[in-house]
Chains A and B, each alone.
Chain A
Amino acid sequence: MDSQQVKLWESRCIEEAPPACNAACPVHLDVRGMAELIAKGDIKAAYALFCRFIPFPGIIGHLCDHPCETACRRSEAGEAIRIHELERMLSASCMEPPPLRRGRAVEKKRVAVVGGGLSGLTVAADLIVKGHHVVVYETKPELFSRLRSLTALPSSAIEADLLRFENTGIEFLCNRKPDIAMLAEEFDAVYLGIGPQPMPVLAGLVKLTNDDRIQAAPLTLASSHAKIFAGGSHRYDGNYSPIASLYDGRSAALSIERVLQGASLTANRENQGSQPTRLYVNIARHAPLSAIQPATPAQGYTLAEAQREAARCFPCHCLECVKVCPYLEHYGAYPKRYIREIYNNETIVMGARKSNRMIDSCTLCGLCAEVCPEQLGMGEVCLSARQGMVEKGRMPISHHDFALRDLEFSRSEAFAFASHQPGHTESAAVFYPGCQLAGSSPEHVEKIYAHLCQKIEGGVGLMLGCCGAPAQWAARTDLFNATRAEFHSAWSALGKPTIISACSSCYRMFTDHYANVAVEALWTTLERIGLPDHALLKSHPLAIHDPCTTRHETAVHQSIRRLAAQCGVDLIELDGPERTSCCGFGGLAAFANPTVADKIIDQRIAQSTADYLTYCAMCRDNFARRGKNSVHILDLLYPSKNALPRSDPGFSARQESRGRLKKRLQRDLWGKDLHESLPEIDIIISAEVHADLEKKLILLDDIRQTLLHAERSGEKLLDKKNGHMIACHRPLRITYWVEYTVEKNSYLVHRAYSHRMELEMVP
């Protein structure tokens, strides 16, 4: 993975952008965190959090001009959270802020602060915790003298806040009017928080504005004198804002600290101060709620009222993708974190690659990009990571082995096939049913092929094989290229006719990865040539599930809907085709992580109580496997006399059906007489054992080979407890175990399992 690309992806996930309240607050108080703690009733923790950001919680708790509330997104669904009232409740109910602790500076410097107001004392507080020596000069007899006249602020709140300075070693010199030029010589840095009045006397020392105020750079509060910084109400000409003064103090303290350390004054300060935020919040998800009114407004919120008010906070998060994708939800974080974990997984030198399975659990369906305000798709990230894993030989074999062996089967003589229509030497088009439809409902393939041959002039060829989707999803470029080359060679031999594709995954592969291959979805073809004669004319309402691989194929969506209408189906839309989700098969997620894949299916099938209609064989079979009555559109075109819903055939039956379909077509249409190559043995498997084998990805053919091996070699065990025979066979990379009994001429399979590890008795 390219580290620049990784950074770009990370930057597109906005979940870590601050909530609007936090961004609007000049000192970026974690309002969301505070509200969450209050809502939980953890007032102590909420107050501790407040005090971490705000050196004078009593004063700010009573006086803050709360720009956060103007920004609060709750105002778009009801009223803004009364954040200031929450703070007031905190400072009123917890009057003892924790003392400030003097830090230990590597190089202790001396800083003079002139002015004992909010900005000056914030500089003092921030620099004392850094361990510097701070002397505060105040012309009046008391600190915070200006605030003491305000009726909204009880003097007890001021005293409680000032207690934070006890034992910090700050020198407070009240009733002093120091010579600032001398301070600048004597101290390493000087902060001037001298109130709103003009200071023409400083003209010789620092540059002044036209109205005789100290010129201070807005970001750093640096004056023209290298050691002197200025801020607070001196900058604000009458518009007094307590939180702005506090912010000035914080900003100046940071500048002074940087000057003292010889660091850049301006670097990395872009997020400082009141800001807009990139965080997206889907307000429509939240019902409007009015603010909680305190029973006694003059007293402010009680604890219980504050809890209810805080509980109105959404809280602001994006997480749009996480909300729609059980895979993204499963791992407990969000794309920005996942991308970092995935990158670390690739670059780790020692230790386990803990994100391998997470990377392989994405269905690559594209829904996350669809709902993301920045169109960030985790599929792209995961596929890129998979490529890296394959290239470095780090892809866990077991994740994709089964699916890739299934692909090998479809590429092999057992299934692959290409021919012109019988009696034709050219093909106007070629039907490509895809391996999964051929496995799930081979009879549909035969019927629809006959229909195409009947309706389309100039010959319709047939191609059976694999489009390479599993190889592409597994990032096996070598295998994908080989599969594609085989296709090209067979297709070229047919004269490169237009492909009529019955599988949405094949359609996707042809469209995205096969240059110069013209492809049409079977459904648009059918609309053009007409439906078969016995199509259904009336059905009960069905909810339409569009396969994720057709997400943006509007023409396909429309054709399907019109075909369904012709079959008399009242369709129920779920979230619409562009917001469709995967059935778990995409990206081979079901093989790497069946738990997550099942969660994805279960979420999808719970969206409507109606039976589902789809046009992907894997979607249909997966829904059926998880207990949803589901029909393929071909079930409507060729209605079954059997009233029972079609169950999931499973991997074994799909693979065997594919092989049998090819033989049947060759025999019936092309007149080839083919004999069975495998000696048949009669195997009996209960439905329960069959379901277990499907979960374990053990095919009936694996069972057959294992039994044949045991019978031929005589290598088998007897379990004397129950009289079961135990057979074992390792054809290639996997050892299969089958426990069975022989009844008459049949093999009754009790259970089977497998492992990859090789075992050998030490001689």
Chain B
Amino acid sequence: MSSIPPPSSQKEDFLCIKCEQALVLRKVNASYLGSSFQVDLLCCPSCGFVYVPEALALGKMLQVEQALEDK
């Protein structure tokens, strides 16, 4: 998953409504079925809202989920 860094052009594109803060790249802990690892994703620096774009959710993330389910 870490092989898909969000394009840098996205950085300023997303705003956390609650905190009125632009999302920034942060280390995120991703976990499923007892396995976990770290990945860089866009987050609200204030409340920690993590944004997952569709291409990631249905691409690499789905692959990892399925691989872990078959482990």
Contacts and interface: CB of A to CB of B under 8 A. Distances in A.
Whether chains A and B associate is yes
Interface of A: 352-354, 356-357, 396-399, 713-721, 725-726, 728, 735, 737, 751, 753-763
Given A716-B17, A717-B49, A720-B12, A398 B69 contact: yes
Nearest to B31: A758
B4 to A, nearest CB: 13
Contact of A737 (B17, B38, B52): B52
Contacts of A760: 28-29, 31, 48, 50
B57 A726 contact: no
A719 B14 CA distance: 5
11 contacts: A713-B18, A714-B17, A737-B57, A754-B57, A755-B57, A757-B32, A759-B28, A760-B31, A760-B50, A761-B28, A762-B26
Interface string B29-58: 111110000100101000111111010011
A396 B71 CA distance: 9
Contact of B47 (A397, A715, A755, A756): A715
B69 A396 contact: yes
Given A753-B58, A756-B65, A757-B65, A717 B17 contact: yes
B2 to A, nearest CB: 13
Given A756-B32, A756-B65, A761-B26, A716 B13 contact: no
Interface of B: 12-18, 23, 26-33, 38, 41, 43, 47-52, 54, 57-58, 61-62, 64-67, 69-71
Contacts of A751: 54
A735 B57 CA distance: 10
Given A356-B70, A753-B58, A721 B13 contact: yes
Contacts of A356: 69-70
Given A715-B47, A716-B17, A720-B14, A757 B69 contact: no
A344 to B, nearest CB: 13
Contacts of A396: 66, 69-70
Contacts of A757: 30-32, 61, 64-65
B32 A720 contact: no
B61 to A, nearest CB: 5
Contacts of A718: 14-15, 17
* Most central of A717, A737, A760 by chain B CB within 10 Å: A717
A618 B65 CA distance: 29
A755 B65 contact: yes
A726 B28 contact: no
Nearest to A710: B17
A15 to B, nearest CB: 27
Contacts, number: 99
B18 A753 contact: no
Contacts of B33: 397
Pick the 8 closest A-B CB pairs, nearest first: A396-B69, A761-B48, A755-B57, A762-B27, A718-B15, A759-B50, A757-B32, A761-B43
B38 A762 contact: yes
Nearest to A715: B18
Contacts of B31: 757-758, 760
A735 B70 CA distance: 20
A715 B61 CA distance: 23
A720 B11 CA distance: 11
Nearest to B62: A755
A152 B66 CA distance: 65
Contact of B49 (A352, A719, A728): A728
B28 A352 contact: no
A716 B50 contact: no
B38 A715 contact: no
B5 to A, nearest CB: 15
Contacts of B27: 761-762
A356 B66 CA distance: 10
A716 B52 CA distance: 12
A716 B23 CA distance: 12
Contacts of B71: 352-353
A719 to B, nearest CB: 6
Given A720-B12, A755-B52, A759-B52, A714 B26 contact: no
A717 B15 contact: yes
B6 to A, nearest CB: 13
A758 B12 CA distance: 24
B54 to A, nearest CB: 5
B70 A352 contact: yes
Nearest to A716: B17
Nearest to B14: A717
A71 B1 CA distance: 58
A734 to B, nearest CB: 11
Contacts of B52: 728, 735, 737, 755, 759
Contacts of A713: 18
B13 A719 contact: yes
Contact of A761 (B50, B61, B66): B50
B17 to A, nearest CB: 5
A753 B61 CA distance: 12
A354 B18 CA distance: 44
A148 to B, nearest CB: 65
* Most central of B17, B33, B38, B58 by chain A CB within 10 Å: B17
Given A761-B26, A761-B50, 20 more contacts: A352-B71, A356-B69, A396-B70, A715-B47, A717-B14, A718-B15, A720-B14, A721-B13, A725-B17, A726-B51, A751-B54, A753-B58, A754-B57, A758-B30, A759-B30, A759-B41, A759-B52, A760-B28, A760-B29, A760-B48
